[in-house]
Structure formats: C-alpha cells, structure tokens
Amino acid sequence: QMQLEESGPGLVKPSGTLALTCTISGGSISSAYWSWVRQPAGGGLEWIGRVYTAGTTNYNPSLNGRAAISLDPSRNQLSLTLYDVSAADTAVYYCARDSEVKTSMTYWYLDLWGRGTRVSVSS
Amino acid sequence: DIQMTQSPPSLSAFVGDRVTITCRASQSVDNYLHWYQQKPGEAPRLLIYVISNLQSGVPSRFSGSGSGTDFTLTINGVQPEDFATYYCQQSYSSTWTFGQGTKVEIK
C-alpha cells in the first residue's frame, strides 16, 4: 500500500528558501501525478501546485511564482521549493497523490495524503 | 480563482442526527467537486469524489449531491468518529481551491 512521508527543516528564516521532500513508498512515483497542499495553524487548506509525470507543473497564482515542484524518480521523491518565504508561509505542508476517474471527462482529486510536515518561518 | 463557500462554518449535533453541509462555488464547477474529512492533528482524508462517489472504506452514512454551483454533504446518523472538519474542493479550474471548512462538533 502506497504511503507518503514529508520531510524538511522545521524552521526557515524570512526571505530564505524552503525545501521539502515527499518520499513515496509502496509504489512508483511514476504511477501518478502529485500535489502539494498547505494549511496554516487553525486555518483552511490551500493547494500549492501539482506535477505531472512528464515533469509538467501547474501552480497556484497566489504564490506569485515562488513555488517549484519537481520529481526525482531515481529516489521516488517529490520536492517543493518555496522561495523568498515570509511568516505567511508558516504552515503544515502536505504532499498528496492526484487520482483520476475517467468518464466522458477526466476528474482529478486527492486520494492519498502524507501526514504533513510543520514549517515555521521566523528569524 | 473559483471561490468555494461552505455553510455553516460550524455546527453542533447529537450522535445519530442527520448533518448537512453545503458548498457553493462562485461559478459552475461541473462535476469536479470532492469532499474531505480532517480530524485534529491528522491529514485530510478523501470522503467523496465527483459529487457523489464514496471513496473506498468510507461508511455509507456519508453521501454527496448537487450540480453546477451548489453541493451538499450529508451524514445520515452522525457517529462519534465523524466529529471533524469537512472541506469541499473543486478541480474544475487549473487552480484548485478548497472551501474554508465546516467544523462538526458534538452537542
């Protein structure tokens, strides 16, 4: 059974760069598309972006071009890099698997989530 | 971006009650509407995808309905393990968005 586990530094300084990794076990990273979602303390869920198996990416415009998502199939890992962070980026960050159901259309949803990793931005 | 608005923001219910949560999109999201459950300290869990399809392992007391811009999540006979926060999410547009959440508490 596939599992996802996020990892990264718990603390990042303002204006610095946040780098997170999601390690996939029990299956191949090439078998699916992947997303990152974040959640500030006491807040709701915000979709950050997704990566397709060919490496194509799509990001939430609210991040103003600061996010980059990539795949490392050799390590079965997904990564998120967030540049020029501020206190507003303090959150729990989740990686999630995009699944699809095809009828006359293809519908995407997030069917498997990691446990999340907490990131604080502070000097 | 498509804005997703859930109501109510929170509700209290007795065990066994029928609970209804609504989600309204700022424009049509067709059938691209999904529901998640999140318990404190845990990751979200997919409950329902494409309006009304129950994810594997989700109890049949959960159901979803709606179309276009208005959707509903219903719990028929809420159980103690159902007290959590529920989120709707659309994947119609290239920027996926979630509702702000509805917290279901024990009365």
Which of B31, B32, B95 is the closest to A61 by Cβ? Answer: B95
Q: Is A41 on the interface with B (CB under 8 A)?
A: no
Distance of CA B56 to the CA centre of its chain: 16
Cβ distance of A113 and B43 shorter than 8 Å: yes
Q: Which whole number is the average pLDDT over B6-31? A: 97
Instruction: Give the position of tokens 């609210």.
Output: A62
- Distance between CA A19 and CA A25 in Å, rounded? 20
Q: Provide the Cα torsion B51, B54, B56, B60; round to 10°.
A: 160
- Distance between CA A21 and CA A25 in Å, rounded? 13
Residues 6+ apart with CB under 8 A from A99: A32, A108, A109, A110, A111, A112, B49
> In the prediction, which pLDDT does B89 show?
98
CA distances from B18 to A22, B21, B53, B104 (A): 38, 10, 19, 12
Ramachandran bin of A76, using left for φ above 0, alpha for ψ from -120 to 50, beta for the remaining angles: left
Residues of B in contact with A44 (CB under 8 A): 87, 98-101
Q: Which whole number is the average pLDDT over B64-68? A: 97
Cβ distance of A110 and B50 shorter than 8 Å: no
CB atoms within 10 A of CB B9: 12
Q: Report whether A86 contacts A14 (CB < 8 A).
A: yes
> In the prediction, which pLDDT does A103 show?
84
Q: What is the pLDDT along chain A (123 residues), one digit of tens a residue?
A: 999 999 999 999 999 999 999 999 999 999 899 999 999 999 999 999 999 867 899 999 999 999 999 999 999 999 999 999 999 999 999 999 999 988 888 899 999 999 999 999 999
Quickly list H helices, A29-110.
none
Residue B9 scores a pLDDT above 90? yes
Amino acid, res. B77:
G
The distance of B14 to chain A (nearest Cα, Å) reads: 24
Residue A92 half-sphere exposure toward CB, CA atoms < 13 A: 19
Cβ distance of A107 and B31 shorter than 8 Å: yes
Which of B34, B99, B101 is the closest to A109 by Cβ? Answer: B34
Rounded mean pLDDT of chain B? 97
Residues of B in contact with A47 (CB under 8 A): 89, 95-98
The distance of B86 to chain A (nearest Cα, Å) reads: 10
Q: Which one has a higher pLDDT value, A106 or B15?
A: B15
Q: How far apart are the first and last CA of chain B?
A: 36
Q: Is the peptide bond before B8 cis (omega within 30 degrees of 0)?
A: yes
**Strand extents, DSSP E, chain A:** 3-7, 11-12, 18-25, 33-39, 46-51, 57-59, 67-72, 77-82, 91-102, 106-113, 117-121
Q: Is B94 on the interface with A (CB under 8 A)?
A: yes
> In the prediction, which pLDDT does B3 show?
98
Structure token pair of residue A74: 């050799």
